[in-house]
Amino acid sequence: MRQQYQKELENRLVIPTLQFLHREHSSGIVLGIFVLLALVLANSPLRDTYTHFLEHHFGFSINGQNYLDFSLEHWINDGLMSMFFFVVGLELKREFIGGELRDLRKITLPVVSALCGMLFPAVIYLIFNAATPTTHGWGIPMATDIAFALAVLQLLGNRVPVSAKVFLTTLAIVDDLGSVVIIALFYTTEISFASLAIGFVVLAVMLVGNRLGVKSVWFYGVLGIGGVWVAFLTSGIHATISAVLAAMVIPADARIPEAAFLARIKKLTRQFENAASNDVRTLEPEQVEILARVQVESAKATPPLQRLEHGLHPFVAFVVMPIFALANTGVSFVDLDFGMLFSNGVAIGVMTGLLVGKPVGIVFAVWICERLGIGKRSRGITWRSIIGLGFLAGIGFTMSMFVTMLAFTSPEHAIQSKIGIFAASIMGGIVGYMCLRKSNRGIKKAPNRG
């Protein structure tokens, strides 16, 4: 009876949950739920509790002196989001070494599209905010929320070719890299060069460890968090930059080569087959020991870079990003003054930048690349597809919210920006979905060679 109950529980709850977590669009769905939750909290009787909780300070004190004393919102934006940017850094390094960013001929089109898709929104924002105190927000409409964009793309199933997903993913990776550079160069305030120097010294130690063949994840974790991240956090440069830099020095090669791993696994497989077996559900001690050795050998054959990326990605997708959304996307409409909303060019600049600048910039980039002969669309990607992908790239959501928190100290400007982001992201997602849904009807069954 008990075994039957466990089997039923596994079939009805455990397996469907695991299947959901492994679907690529699942993180976008979870993110959307937390955005809605933030909006509900911000527009309910709990809004004051919600706001005060985010403003509560956490830190530690030694002899009456406070250290690392920041609000919960600050810890989320500088702490948890550093994990997100660390995974972004790992993905960038992997893509440069052996992925889409390795072959310059293949990446020309999405790279130029990403650059134009960042430039056009910034220019449009500046047109609406020229010579005003809000010009500093030009980086807000440049960002793309890859989780939401890919979630919409996944909903279309086989209506879009695989090459379209590759194009959007590569574009978003370059967009992330551009965002990192922009944050480092333009959204950094006062700099403590002493703290910065300490951070780079620790980073150099990590690099030396890489060159000497150190593969321990603990070595890089302790130095990366306790050294580089803390140093950047206290330096004035946004701590998320340290996460990307730390990711770049994580080893990308394994402890043992592939051939040696295969030989060892074959040997262990034979030992497992020859081990004394029994007729019960449990394994013999010898078999358990062999399986433990298989796990050890598998860990040795997995590069630290990919081990960390694979291990952290679910936590970042289903914990870090939803918490960030919960902390930063709560906009109260209760006392919203719509006259104030359009009292300057922030909301309209952000909204127009994302909703118009992104797709226009991307379509222009593809057109100019094909005219100049330096890039060509993959099979199955029509002009309607490019327009649809351009609108999906205009889903700024969490990434644009993140830049908003760096760009504006004024709550009024931050609210205006967030409303512009919401409006553009929702409309961009709907228009992008509709464009892509109709873009490949005539060639839906064509093979993907992208």
Whether residues 139 and 87 share a domain: the answer is yes
For the chain, the domain total comes to 3
**Residue 200 structure tokens:** 């780079």
Q: Are residues 354 and 430 in the same domain?
A: yes
Residue 311 covered by a domain? no
3-state DSSP assignment of residue 126: helix
Verify that 288 and 338 share a domain, yes or no: no
**Same domain assignment for residues 349 and 390:** yes
The rounded distance, in Å, linking the Cα atoms of 86 and 248 is 9
Q: What is the pLDDT along the chain (450 residues), one digit of tens a residue?
A: 555 545 554 555 444 544 544 555 577 788 888 989 998 998 999 988 998 998 888 887 777 677 777 888 888 888 888 898 898 888 888 878 877 667 777 788 999 999 999 999 999 999 999 989 899 999 999 988 877 887 788 777 777 887 888 888 888 878 878 888 888 888 876 778 899 899 999 999 999 999 999 998 899 999 999 899 999 888 877 777 888 899 999 999 888 888 888 999 999 888 888 876 666 667 778 888 988 999 988 888 889 999 999 889 889 888 998 898 898 888 777 766 666 667 789 999 999 999 999 999 999 999 999 999 988 888 778 999 999 999 999 998 888 988 998 899 888 899 899 999 989 999 999 999 999 988 765 444 444 433
Claim to verify: residue 160 and residue 224 sit in the same structural domain: no
Residue 44 is assigned to a structural domain of this protein: no
In a domain, 162, yes or no: yes
Do 124 and 92 belong to one domain?
yes
157 and 231 co-located in one domain: no
User: Assign residue 332 a region: left if phi > 0, alpha if psi is -120 to 50, beta otherwise?
Assistant: beta
Whether 193 and 84 map to the same domain: the answer is no
Model pTM score:
0.74
125 in any annotated domain: yes
Q: List, as one string, the DSSP characters of 172-216.
A: HHHHHHHHHHHHHHHS--S--HHHHHHHHHHHHHHHHHHHTT---
Structure tokens at 175: 């967009």
Q: Is the same domain home to 74 and 143?
A: yes
Contact call for residues 243 and 309 (beta carbons, < 8 A): no
Residue 2 is assigned to a structural domain of this protein: no
**Whether 334 and 363 share a structural domain:** yes
As to burial, measured by CB atoms within 10 angstroms (0-12 exposed, 13-18 middle, 19+ buried), residue 158 is exposed
Long-range Cβ pairs for the range 46-49 (8 Å, 24+):
47/330, 47/332, 47/334
**194 and 183 fall within a common domain:** no
CATH code, domain with 136: 1.20.1530.10
Q: Is 151 a domain residue? A: yes
As a whole number of angstroms, the distance between CA 447 and CA 450 comes to 9
Using CA atoms, how far apart are residues 321 and 34, in angstroms rounded to an integer? 9
Tell me the residue range of the domain where 282 lies. Answer: 258-300
